[in-house]
Structure 1
Amino acid sequence: MNMQYDQYGQALGVTVDNWQGATPPQRVTLQGRSCRVEPFSRQQHGAGLRAALELDVDGRDWAYLMPRPQTDADWHNWFGMMEDSRDPLFFAIVDQTSGQAIGSCSYLRIDPVMGVIEIGWLRFSPLLQRSVAATEAMYLLMRQAFDWGYRRYEWKCNALNAPSMRAAPRLGFTFEGIFRQARVNWGRNRDTAWFSLLDSEWPANRAALEAWLDAANFDAAGKQQRSLDECRRALAAQTQQDGVRLATLADLPQLTPLFDGYRRFYGRHDDAATSQDFIRQRLLQGDATILVYEQAGELQGFTQLYPLFSSVATAPVWLLNDLFVAAPARRDGVGRKLLLAAGELARQHGVARLELATAHDNLAAQILYESLGWQRDVAFRRYQLALN
């Protein structure tokens, strides 16, 4: 996939080759080791699911989804809706040993044309919560969605729902932000948190989930040997290739302190929240190209490129507005590698030249730039007009 640009040097988007849409979800059974996920049937699953959910005696687990059913009619109507609905498309999570439904879930907001699908309406009984089966059920549903060809797998929740906010990143989702005042639920405001998992991220996430779910990861008492995060880090260390690459939203946690360090270098106060929001917007909107240098899973530096247009040259140019390397890596040639990669990427996109500005007293950077062929502008004076 390559970023496409118009004649003005404006980024138009990354190409999606041979896209023909995804397969609409089917009512299939997904078989795991500790559980299976089956199309919901009121007759087959209703009694067992109700019994499991009623183990939540005080009703606290219903706080963010819907009012708790109180009567037989409430349960009957809810289960009838689940059985009849196709979007959401509901499934029961069934314990492999007992055969009892111990939770439910659904695919929803299903858009095969655009390749987007969401997992939601999660009802985990006390029998399912914090169990191997809970993670395995989510893995089975993820795997099936990507096997059907979906490009984007979404997780949304009430931003006040702390367990759901923790579960999403644990399962490999990337936090994208909060839609403020997204809904009014039962007379109360709901801010909705958005998370996503992309098809390009699925292979690595699948490997981590499968490593954690492997029977060898649990002792005779069923206790995990390694956490899911530890499995993820171990696999990343095995497959990680050091070097320069394009940044993604998954890099936001490490990229934010680097960008904040760059801003502090130029006299700004420490402001991680502003730095994170700025970088997140650049990655979401695609109006800048960010290159990062990674070593052993850690980001060591970055540079950011903004598309411009030269009227005199009648050609696109890129502004290399940011270059920053973490202090421990500044003698390892990271800045040089980032600059060389930026130049090569610009040449691939037909950019006429790169431009940058640096502080007069930043002598180390000036030496680096000039060693790579950058020339100081002696023909033009640069001016700025401060607007705020």
Structure 2
Amino acid sequence: MHYDAFQQPLGAPVAGWPGACPPQKVTLQGHHCRLEPFERTRHGDSLRAALELDRDGRDWAYLMPRPQSDADWAAWFAMMESSSDPLFFAIVDNASGDVIGSCSYLRIDAANGVIEVGWLRFSPRLQRTVAATEAMYLMMKQAFDWGYRRYEWKCNSLNAPSMRAAERLGFTFEGIFRQARVNWGLNRDTAWFSLLDSEWPANRAVLEAWLDAANFDTGGQQRHSLDQCRRQQAATTLPDGIRAATLADLPQLAALFDAYRRFYGKQGDAPTSHDFIRQRLIRADSHVLVYQQQGQLLGFTQLLPQFSSVLAAPVWLLNDLYVAEAARQRGVGQALLQAAAALARQHGVQRLDLVTAVDNHTAQALYAAQGWQRDQRFYRYQLALGD
């Protein structure tokens, strides 16, 4: 956290932020569909035919008035082709080569790493298909590959199917912007959803597990829903009894943290321990996992996000690992280490680091048993900057 001269928190540093890449007109290739930069002569007739399968026009309710004439369709397609924000893509069925929908990136802010997905036109041939989910996966993946930090989904708050789709795809609901717009003389309250770059690795794993061919039977029916895949990943990511700490854990967790500091020779200082852990939970600038059994916290570990210049990738420091004295020799430490490694992999972290006292032989044996290797190449130096 960065503070000003008055010790007011200003925000967490974004180290070396270069900005994201402006979206390019590239083809995004999937197994069931591909996304091609929209060209009206190449895609227009096929897209119109697919969208006109919606004969009563109900699918246009929240986007725009439905085109009624050849001139209307031509004007819309001309806008789609010439626009760079929104940047439109045709969703092409790989099997038939037909255009079955369209989508776009919009409200593009490469400098701040924010981009939105929208203008979704899913024809009846695309709705509720594997290709529909795959198209959204391809859009997400490309946005994060371009370096965006925040991927947004917005919709009319009355558009229940769109809101369900956002949550199904792993977006986080952030709230309603009331009276955000006036559409066709009608008030629109806008629902906001987001997916962050730190959340993408876990969400990507879920989407890829669902899209895997093994998840579908010979009739093309899913074996597991996206929600089931998400729960399965969560179950395999964190062993039984382990979860992310919350503010509700603060009394017990602060006591464990104070005991941890005493283990390393600090004087007992409950207020300092309480405030330190409280700040970590509020600011979310570390990952704290706890081991709970029958309502009692038996241990915790804390992971601090860092970066490796040599790897040019994120690494995490496993800064704390502590098990209550009464709970030792019961596998709590081992379970926390395994959960820490799983969580780091989920976030795309390349390496976990830790330090421990040279005479802490019990911990060293545990680390070695879990596959940790002691560094034989580098010395660790410290420069004390405070009292």
The corresponding residue for 2:129 is 131
Task: Give yes or no for contact 1:245–1:292 (8 Å, CA) kept in 2.
Answer: no
**5 Å matches for 1:156-235?**
156-235=154-233
Question: Aligned equivalents of 2:38 and 2:204: distance in 1?
Answer: 25
Identity of aligned residues (%): 68
Higher relative contact order at CA 8 Å, sep ≥6: structure 1 or structure 2?
1
Counterpart of 1:333, as a letter, is Q
Counterpart of 1:107, as a letter, is Y
Task: Give yes or no for contact 1:105–1:119 (8 Å, CA) kept in 2.
Answer: yes
Counterpart of 2:141, as a letter, is R
Q: Which one of the candidate residues 65, 68, 88 is aligned to 2:66?
A: 68
Which segments of 5 or more consecutive residues in structure 1 lack a partner in the other structure? 248-289, 294-299, 304-314, 324-328, 342-388
What secondary structure, in the 3-state scheme, does the structure 2 residue paired with 1:184 have? Answer: strand
Deviation at 1:236, TM superposition (A): 1.6
Question: Aligned equivalents of 1:330 and 1:9: distance in 2?
Answer: 39
Deviation at 1:14, TM superposition (A): 1.5
Counterpart of 1:73, as a letter, is A
Q: TM-score, normalised by structure 1?
A: 0.65
Question: Aligned equivalents of 1:151 and 1:321: distance in 2?
Answer: 26
Deviation string, structure 1 residues 185-223 (Cα, Å, up to 9, x no partner): 000000000000000000000000000000110011100
| Change over 3 Å in CA distance of 1:292–1:211 after alignment to 2 | farther
Q: Which one of the candidate residues 19, 22, 45 is aligned to 2:20?
A: 22
What secondary structure, in the 3-state scheme, does the structure 1 residue paired with 2:236 have? Answer: helix
Counterpart of 1:97, as a letter, is A
Deviation at 1:114, TM superposition (A): 0.1
**5 Å matches for 1:15-54?**
15-54=13-52
Deviation string, structure 1 residues 87-111 (Cα, Å, up to 9, x no partner): 0000000011110110000000001
What secondary structure, in the 3-state scheme, does the structure 2 residue paired with 1:128 have? Answer: coil
What secondary structure, in the 3-state scheme, does the structure 1 residue paired with 2:100 have? Answer: strand
Deviation string, structure 1 residues 223-268 (Cα, Å, up to 9, x no partner): 0000011111111221226657566xxxxxxxxxxxxxxxxxxxxx
Counterpart of 2:185, as a letter, is G
The corresponding residue for 2:141 is 143
**5 Å matches for 1:4-19?**
4-6=2-4, 8-19=6-17
Task: Give yes or no for contact 1:5–1:13 (8 Å, CA) kept in 2.
Answer: yes
Q: Which one of the candidate residues 104, 110, 113 is aligned to 1:112?
A: 110
Deviation at 1:4, TM superposition (A): 2.9
The corresponding residue for 2:97 is 99
Counterpart of 2:123, as a letter, is S
The corresponding residue for 1:364 is none
| Change over 3 Å in CA distance of 1:26–1:320 after alignment to 2 | closer
Length, aligned pairs only: 272
Q: Which one of the candidate residues 235, 244, 251 is aligned to 1:237?
A: 235
Deviation at 1:8, TM superposition (A): 4.7
What secondary structure, in the 3-state scheme, does the structure 2 residue paired with 1:109 have? Answer: strand
| Change over 3 Å in CA distance of 1:146–1:71 after alignment to 2 | same
